[in-house]
């Protein structure tokens, strides 16, 4: 188990008694960057964040897993290509495919790792404009039945930050058609496709809906004053990303809120 050295301790939000028992693991690779943010998001949503280390060979007692953004092992080869072989990843893959259907959320680099792990189809290549891009991005929630989107309405538009260099989602036409037909396109870019992703796809799920991956960052839109704000600024009161975490927590503690 690793320590995540924090800038101070995380916000001492009194965990919502109903949700506090739900334990969400946050995976840290040596090059992971957004792990503290993901853990903070879990806590702000009322759950308990559990630190997971890439080298661990046991998943331990967690009810769901977030694979946050960053550069896993440097990603000099291909984003996530080595990370999929981490000892912990094989446990996550097994748990996600098991009957228990462990909820797994891959954000940015986490999404790349999920596709490399074949938990999700397709792949990410360099943005069509070839630059790193950081912006506040509008998404449409296309499917509100996955483990991570239950607290949204289908068709709802949310704004969360996007920041990546290799965010262009690609897959063959057959796969794309199947994803569409099965309702597995979970998020679509609205207004502006920031990286050339096929069919404006920002995020997808597996067939069972427990594994979701997306390029934009819900964990950066969970706290008033530190989230997106219009016109390429920061510090807004937008907390559109919190629903990812409340969705899974509510599902874990049982039932429909």
Partner 1 sequence: MTTETTKKFNIDTVEHAAKTPDTELPWAELGLKQNEFDEIVKVLGRRPTGAELAMYSVMWSEHCSYKSSKNHLRQFGQKVTEEMKKDMLVGIGENAGVTNLGDGWAVTFKIESHNSPSFVEPYQGAATGIGGIVRDIISMGARPVAVMDPLRFGAIDHPDTARVMHGAVAGIGGYGNSLGLPNIGGEMVFDSVYQGNPLVNALAVGVMRHEDIRLANASGKGNKVVLFGARTGGDGIGGASVLASESFDDTKPSKRPAVQVGDPFAEKVLIECCLELFKGSLVEGIQDLGAAGISCATSELASNGDGGMQVELTSVLLRDPTLTPGEILMSESQERMMAVVTPENVEAFEAVMDKWAVEYSWLGEVTDTGRLIITWEGEVIVDVDPRTVAHDGPVYDRPFARPEWQDAVQADTFTGSVQDAGRPAAPAELAAAVTELVASPNMCSKSWITNQYDRYVGGNTSMAFPDDAGVVRVDEESGLGVALATDANGRYTYLDPYHGAQLALAEAYRNVATAGAIPMAVSDCLNFGSPEDPDVMWQLAEAIRGLSDACMVLGIPVTGGNVSLYNQTGTTPIHPSPVVAVLGKLDDVARRTPSGWREDGQAIYLLGTTGAELDGSEWANMRGHLGGQPPKVDLEAERALGEILINASRDGMIDSAHDLSEGGLAAALVESSLRYGVGARIALQDVMDRDGVDLFTALFSESQGRAVVGVPRSEEVRFTDMCTARGFAHTRIGVVDAASGKLEINGVEGLSLDALREAHEGTLPKYFG
Question: What gap in Å lies between CA 2 and CA 44, rounded to an integer?
Answer: 21
Packed helices 35-44 and 242-254: angle between N→C axes, nearest 10 degrees: 60
Of 60, 87, 191, 235, the one binding partner 1 (CB under 8 A) is 235
Which among 142, 217, 220, 223 is annotated as catalytic?
217
Angle among Cα 130, 84, 131 to the nearest 5 degrees reads 10
User: Applying CB under 8 A, does 174 fall inside the site for partner 1?
Assistant: no
Of 17, 155, 233, 255, the one binding partner 1 (CB under 8 A) is 233
Give the interface size with partner 1 as a residue count (CB under 8 A): 45
Residue ranges in 36-95 that form contacts with partner 1 under rule CB under 8 A = 36-37, 40, 69-71, 73-76
User: Applying CB under 8 A, does 20 fall inside the site for partner 1?
Assistant: no
DSSP track, 67-122: E-SB-TT--SSSTTTTGGGSHHHHHHHHHHHSTT---EEEETHHHHHHHHTTSS-S
User: CB under 8 Å to 160, separation ≥6 — which residues?
Assistant: 136, 137, 139, 216, 217, 218, 220, 221, 227, 228, 238, 240, 241
Q: Is 131 helix (H, G, I), strand (E, B) or coil?
A: coil
Question: What gap in Å lies between CA 125 and CA 182, rounded to an integer?
Answer: 24
Annotation marks residue 108 as catalytic: yes
- Smallest separation, CB 219 to partner 1 (Å): 7
Which among 142, 219, 220, 223 is annotated as catalytic?
219
User: Residues 28-47: x/- map of binding to partner 1 (CB under 8 A)?
Assistant: --xx-xx-xx--x-------
User: Applying CB under 8 A, does 230 fall inside the site for partner 1?
Assistant: yes
- Smallest separation, CB 60 to partner 1 (Å): 18
User: Applying CB under 8 A, does 7 fall inside the site for partner 1?
Assistant: yes
Q: Is-contact 4 39, C-beta < 8 A?
A: yes
Residue ranges in 104-133 that form contacts with partner 1 under rule CB under 8 A = 131-133
Q: Residue 210 has which token pair?
A: 């427990």
User: Applying CB under 8 A, does 219 fall inside the site for partner 1?
Assistant: yes
Closer of 122 and 203 to partner 1 (Cβ): 203
Range in contact with partner 1 (rule: CB under 8 A) among 85-93, 97-105, 183-191, 233-241: 233-241
Residue linked to tokens 């301790």: 9
**Where on the chain is the footprint of partner 1 (CB under 8 A)?**
2-3, 5-12, 30-31, 33-34, 36-37, 40, 69-71, 73-76, 131-135, 161, 163, 165, 217, 219-220, 223, 225-226, 229-235
């Amino acid at each position: 188990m690793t320590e995540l050295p924090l800038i101070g301790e995380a916000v001492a939000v009194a965990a919502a008694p109903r949700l506090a028992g739900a334990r969400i693991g946050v995976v840290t690779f040596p090059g992971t960057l957004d792990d503290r943010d993901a853990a903070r998001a879990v806590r702000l949503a009322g759950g308990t964040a559990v630190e997971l280390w890439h080298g661990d060979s046991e998943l331990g007692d967690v009810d769901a897993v977030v694979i946050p953004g960053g550069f896993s092992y440097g990603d000099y080869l291909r984003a996530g290509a080595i990370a999929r072989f981490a000892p912990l990843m094989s446990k996550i893959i097994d748990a996600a495919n098991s009957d228990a259907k462990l909820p797994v959320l891959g954000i940015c680099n986490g999404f790349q790792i999920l596709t490399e792990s074949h938990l999700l189809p397709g792949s990410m290549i360099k943005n069509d404009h070839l630059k790193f891009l950081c912006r506040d991005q509008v998404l449409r929630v296309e499917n509100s039945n996955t483990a991570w989107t239950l607290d949204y309405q289908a068709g709802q538009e949310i704004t969360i930050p996007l920041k990546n260099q290799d965010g262009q989602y690609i897959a063959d036409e057959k796969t794309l058609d199947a994803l569409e037909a099965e309702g597995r396109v979970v998020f679509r870019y609205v207004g502006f496709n920031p990286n050339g992703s096929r069919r404006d796809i920002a995020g997808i799920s597996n067939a069972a809906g427990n594994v979701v991956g997306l390029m934009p960052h819900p964990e950066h839109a969970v706290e008033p004053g530190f989230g997106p704000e219009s016109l390429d600024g920061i510090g807004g009161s937008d907390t559109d990303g919190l629903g990812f975490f409340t969705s899974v927590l509510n599902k874990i503690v049982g039932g429909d809120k």
